[in-house]
């Protein structure tokens, strides 16, 4: 009896594996030139990053294979529209609502949280733009910060743009800014690996948005299986484990 049950289990496992492989896809995933540690790293960097680690785990569950390619942002957007790129990780639908091909979106796997950061000894609560009136606040060029854009426009808060998170943090530690707005994972990671940033203090969240995988419509059939994998990786704690690796 035991032998029959074991044979049935093996047959079922083989059937499920075969079924998964029949519907598996090879998907091109874009990572932007220059990287955005720890979410993803520049081409040639030995580090992998949150998105690569997560997609590798999704691949183990779903059977899909992911090919990572690096392009400048504008080129990546064009290639996605043309269907040459199949997946853009870490995106909220609102951010691509004006795109020629908005794409299909998976379930959310995490939140993108922006925080306000101060130098040690200068931290204070920030609940609205009024709390930063008159301050020089560092930001990333082109980024939109809900609740603060009017204050930037009116010069109530003096916005100081940087091209990258690393350049922004260097301005902060040099004393050129009173505060900065930055992705939480980015500042946590740099504080962890770089001594010069140890004196920075992470304050209140100033905005958050669900993030997902943006999938080209030509590959819409993979969304359901990716969603199932995300649900499983949330339940077993793997997504939290991946993020914790870089904090």
Q: Where are the domains of the chain?
A: 2-110+210-244, 112-209
pTM for this predicted structure: 0.86
Q: Which fold has domain 112-209?
A: D-Maltodextrin-Binding Protein; domain 2 (3.40.190)
Neighbour-count burial for 65-99, b at 16+ CB within 10 Å, e otherwise? ebebebbeeeebbebbeeeebbbbbbbbeebbeee
C-beta of residue 201 within 8 angstroms of C-beta of residue 120:
yes
C-beta of residue 200 within 8 angstroms of C-beta of residue 113:
no
Give the three-state DSSP class for 53: helix
Tell me whether domains 2-110+210-244 and 112-209 share a fold: yes
Q: Chain-wide mean pLDDT for the chain?
A: 92
Each residue's pLDDT tens digit, 207-240: 999 999 999 999 999 999 999 999 999 999 999 9
Centre a 10 Å sphere on the Cβ of residue 215 and count the other Cβ atoms it contains.
22
Distance CA 15, CA 198 (A): 53
Q: SS3 helix, strand, coil % of the chain, rounded to 5?
A: 40, 25, 30
Task: Residues 2-110+210-244: name the CATH superfamily.
Answer: Periplasmic binding protein-like II (3.40.190.10)
C-beta of residue 29 within 8 angstroms of C-beta of residue 219:
no
Each residue's pLDDT tens digit, 162-208: 999 999 999 999 999 999 999 999 999 999 999 999 999 999 999 99
């Amino acid at each position: 009896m035991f032998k029959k049950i074991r044979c049935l289990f093996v047959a079922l496992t083989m059937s499920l594996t075969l079924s998964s492989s029949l519907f598996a896809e090879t998907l091109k995933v874009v990572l932007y030139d220059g990287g955005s540690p720890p979410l993803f790293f520049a081409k040639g960097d030995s580090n992998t990053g949150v998105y690569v680690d997560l997609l590798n785990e999704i691949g183990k569950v779903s059977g899909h294979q992911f090919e990572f390619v690096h392009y400048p942002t504008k080129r990546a957007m064009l290639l996605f529209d043309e269907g040459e790129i199949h997946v853009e990780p870490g995106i909220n639908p609102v951010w691509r609502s004006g795109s020629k091909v908005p794409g299909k979106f998976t379930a959310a796997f995490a939140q993108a949280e922006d925080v306000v950061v101060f130098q040690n000894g200068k931290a204070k609560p920030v609940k609205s733009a009024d709390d930063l009136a008159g301050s020089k606040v560092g930001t990333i060029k082109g980024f939109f910060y809900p609740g603060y854009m009017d204050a930037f426009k009116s010069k109530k808060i003096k916005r100081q743009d940087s091209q990258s998170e690393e350049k922004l943090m260097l301005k902060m530690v040099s004393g050129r800014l009173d505060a900065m707005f930055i992705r939480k994972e980015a500042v946590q990671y740099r504080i962890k690996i770089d001594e010069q940033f140890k004196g920075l203090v992470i304050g209140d969240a100033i905005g958050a948005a669900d993030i997902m995988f943006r999938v080209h419509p030509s590959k819409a059939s993979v969304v359901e299986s990716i969603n199932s994998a995300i649900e499983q990786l949330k339940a077993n704690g793997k997504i939290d484990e991946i993020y914790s690796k870089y904090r």
